[in-house]
């Protein structure tokens, strides 16, 4: 099977894919027996390990540079090794930790006659690192290899992939899959068909001099061709669905949160300094990265996606293709709060259109407060939103979910928990639905 056939078959299969696990599962199924699967980065490793269980003849390596960790509390080597041991994959999954160029060289020594047939990049890095390390991969990729790049909702990663094709047109961007992972670019490495295709050229965006407004290691912000939006009014309307998940799943999510207390880290705001001290002026809570609850989170994602068209209609929001579906778990213990804000006021969050809050906690409810207050809001982007006066409040109830416009100002009222125990927190899984923007 050549590169184009493989890519086309994969795209057809993706019409049914509902999760990153399904994507990786099918990629492994297409991996020739003489080639290996390579993942760069610890994130989403659980999805890879679950897929490996179904293909006992496949081999995989997971590479990671600890200095490039995208999380303050990244999954440790011991955590991954424990998962591998529990799944009985010790002889088929190899972990290597260190600088990626050196690890690739080690990989060539470990498997001198074997090339990478599928590479899954899931490390959130800066533009230069992503581009250079992608170029380094060329010596280790098999002809017709698949190259899956995660975190492509970030401008730096997306732009690195586009520039990669310009530097070496043996890489071809076959498909953008923004609703899987944190935005996936499906590329192929095909040195037998070197040269930019019409599809490649359609993906590459010409950036004019002076259009780069701001840059940091992760985000690239460009001027937008469209004028400012008209002044819009967003009413404090919400949709609440009770008994959203099966009771068994609801309780499993609660127990998972409690047993992973040590993985929660302080939440941060998108303020300019974005320091913990600065964030505490606006919000106080603990957050759990999606990597630590992706099995349960994927099930919730599927349910949200299934009801989304109905929700859009009831909220009066024009139906759109969900291209990005962000998710995080939050624990609001005694004294936690979040001041009034919108969910899409920054370049990093501008894609968000609908916000979802799934509530879960012990029964009877061990805390009081923590109501979600949603305000009538007047907005004219890019100007700050303005409170319009009226508001509505949502009282947290176990196993319920609330949907509302991400453009509405809203806040979380203070939580009061007499026991002050983590297990007695106001737990939520926050999800944002939106369309793709390269910012």
Q: Say what the pLDDT of residue 285 is.
A: 94
Most confident of the ranges 96-110, 161-175, 198-212: 161-175
Domain ranges of the chain: 3-215, 232-434
Q: Under DSSP, is residue 341 helix (H, G, I), strand (E, B) or coil?
A: strand
Tens of pLDDT, residues 326-358: 899 999 999 999 988 899 887 778 889 999 999
Q: Say what the pLDDT of residue 161 is.
A: 87
**Residues near 387 by beta carbon (within 8 Å), at least 6 away in sequence:** 340, 375, 376, 377, 378, 409
Q: Between the CA atoms of 110, 115, 116 and 117, what dihedral angle is there, to the nearest 10 degrees?
A: -140
Same fold, 3-215 and 232-434: no
Q: Which residue has the tokens 């010596």?
A: 139
Mean pLDDT of 171-177: 84
Q: Alpha-carbon distance 328 to 427, whole Å?
A: 11
On average, the pLDDT of the chain sits at 82
User: Is the pLDDT assigned to residue 48 strictly greater than 50?
Assistant: yes
Q: Say what the pLDDT of residue 70 is.
A: 47
Most confident of the ranges 192-201, 229-238, 364-373, 380-389: 364-373
Which helix (H) or strand (E) segment holds residue 249: the answer is helix 247-259
Q: Say what the pLDDT of residue 69 is.
A: 54
**Residues near 155 by beta carbon (within 8 Å), at least 6 away in sequence:** 219, 220, 221, 222, 438, 439
Q: Say what the pLDDT of residue 72 is.
A: 45
Residue 51: closest CA among 11, 80, 22: 22
Q: Alpha-carbon distance 277 to 393, whole Å?
A: 28
**Residues near 250 by beta carbon (within 8 Å), at least 6 away in sequence:** 360, 398, 399
Provide the β-strand partners of residue 240.
Answer: 402
Q: Name which of 71-85, 109-123, 193-207 the model is least confident about.
A: 193-207
Q: How many Cβ atoms sit within 10 Å of the Cβ of residue 179?
A: 22
CATH architecture entry for 3-215: 3-Layer(aba) Sandwich (3.40)
Q: Say what the pLDDT of residue 206 is.
A: 43
Mean pLDDT of 104-113: 77
Could you tell me the pLDDT band of residue 279, with boundaries at 50, 70 and 90?
low
φ and ψ of 159, to 5 deg? -70, -35
Could you tell me the pLDDT band of residue 225, with boundaries at 50, 70 and 90?
very low
| Percentage of the residues of the chain whose pLDDT score is greater than 70 | 80
**Residues near 330 by beta carbon (within 8 Å), at least 6 away in sequence:** 267, 285, 286, 287, 288, 427, 428, 429, 430
Residue 36: closest CA among 186, 145, 164: 145
Q: Under DSSP, is residue 151 helix (H, G, I), strand (E, B) or coil?
A: coil
User: Is the pLDDT assigned to residue 172 strictly greater than 80?
Assistant: yes
Residue 403: closest CA among 188, 279, 239: 239
Q: Say what the pLDDT of residue 100 is.
A: 82
Q: Under DSSP, is residue 197 helix (H, G, I), strand (E, B) or coil?
A: coil
Could you tell me the pLDDT band of residue 14, with boundaries at 50, 70 and 90?
low
Q: Alpha-carbon distance 374 to 376, whole Å?
A: 7
**37 in Cβ contact with 59 (< 8 Å):** yes
Q: Say what the pLDDT of residue 73 is.
A: 47
Q: Say what the pLDDT of residue 212 is.
A: 52
- The superfamily in CATH containing domain 232-434 is q2cbj1_9rhob like domain (2.60.120.620)
**147 in Cβ contact with 171 (< 8 Å):** yes
Q: Judging by DSSP bridges, how do beta strands 372-379 and 232-234 pair with one another? A: antiparallel
Residue 357: closest CA among 387, 332, 382: 332
């Amino acid at each position: 099977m050549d590169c184009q056939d493989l890519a086309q078959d994969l795209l057809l299969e993706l019409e049914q894919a509902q999760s990153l696990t399904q994507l990786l599962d099918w990629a492994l199924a297409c991996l020739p027996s003489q080639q290996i699967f390579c993942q760069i980065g610890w994130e989403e490793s659980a999805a890879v390990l679950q897929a490996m269980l179904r293909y006992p003849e496949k081999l995989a390596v997971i590479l990671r540079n600890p200095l490039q960790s995208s999380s303050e509390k990244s999954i440790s080597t011991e955590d991954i090794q424990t998962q591998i041991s529990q799944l009985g994959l010790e002889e088929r999954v190899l972990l290597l930790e260190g600088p990626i160029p050196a690890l690739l060289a080690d990989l060539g020594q470990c498997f001198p006659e074997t090339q990478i047939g599928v590479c899954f990049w899931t490390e959130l890095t800066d533009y230069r690192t992503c581009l250079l390390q992608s170029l380094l991969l060329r010596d280790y990729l098999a002809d017709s290899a698949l190259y899956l790049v995660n975190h492509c909702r970030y401008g730096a990663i997306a732009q690195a992939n586009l520039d990669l094709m310009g530097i070496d047109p043996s890489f071809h961007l076959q498909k953008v899959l923004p609703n899987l992972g944190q935005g996936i670019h499906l590329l192929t490495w095909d040195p037998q068909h070197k040269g930019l295709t019409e599809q490649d050229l359609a993906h590459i965006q010409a950036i004019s001099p002076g259009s780069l407004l701001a840059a940091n290691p992760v985000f690239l912000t460009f001027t937008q061709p469209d004028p400012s939006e008209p002044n819009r009014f967003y009413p404090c309307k919400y949709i609440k669905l009770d008994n959203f998940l099966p009771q068994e799943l609801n309780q499993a999510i609660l127990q998972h949160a409690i047993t992973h207390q040590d993985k929660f880290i302080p939440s941060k705001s998108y303020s300019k300094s974005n320091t913990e001290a600065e964030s505490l002026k606006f919000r106080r809570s603990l957050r759990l990265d999606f990597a630590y609850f992706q099995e349960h989170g994927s099930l919730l994602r599927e349910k949200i996606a299934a009801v989304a068209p109905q929700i859009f209609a009831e909220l009066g929001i024009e139906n759109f293709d969900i291209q990005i579906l962000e998710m995080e778990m939050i624990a609001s213990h005694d004294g936690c709060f979040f001041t009034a804000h919108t969910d899409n006021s920054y370049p990093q969050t501008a894609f968000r259109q609908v916000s979802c809050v799934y509530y879960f906690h012990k029964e009877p409810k061990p805390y009081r407060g923590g109501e979600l207050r949603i305000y009538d809001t007047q907005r004219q982007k890019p100007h700050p939103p303005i409170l319009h006066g009226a508001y509505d409040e949502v009282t947290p109830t176990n196993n319920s979910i609330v949907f509302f416009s991400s453009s509405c100002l809203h806040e979380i009222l203070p939580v009061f928990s007499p026991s002050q125990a983590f297990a007695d927190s106001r737990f939520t899984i926050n999800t944002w639905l939106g369309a793709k923007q390269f910012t």
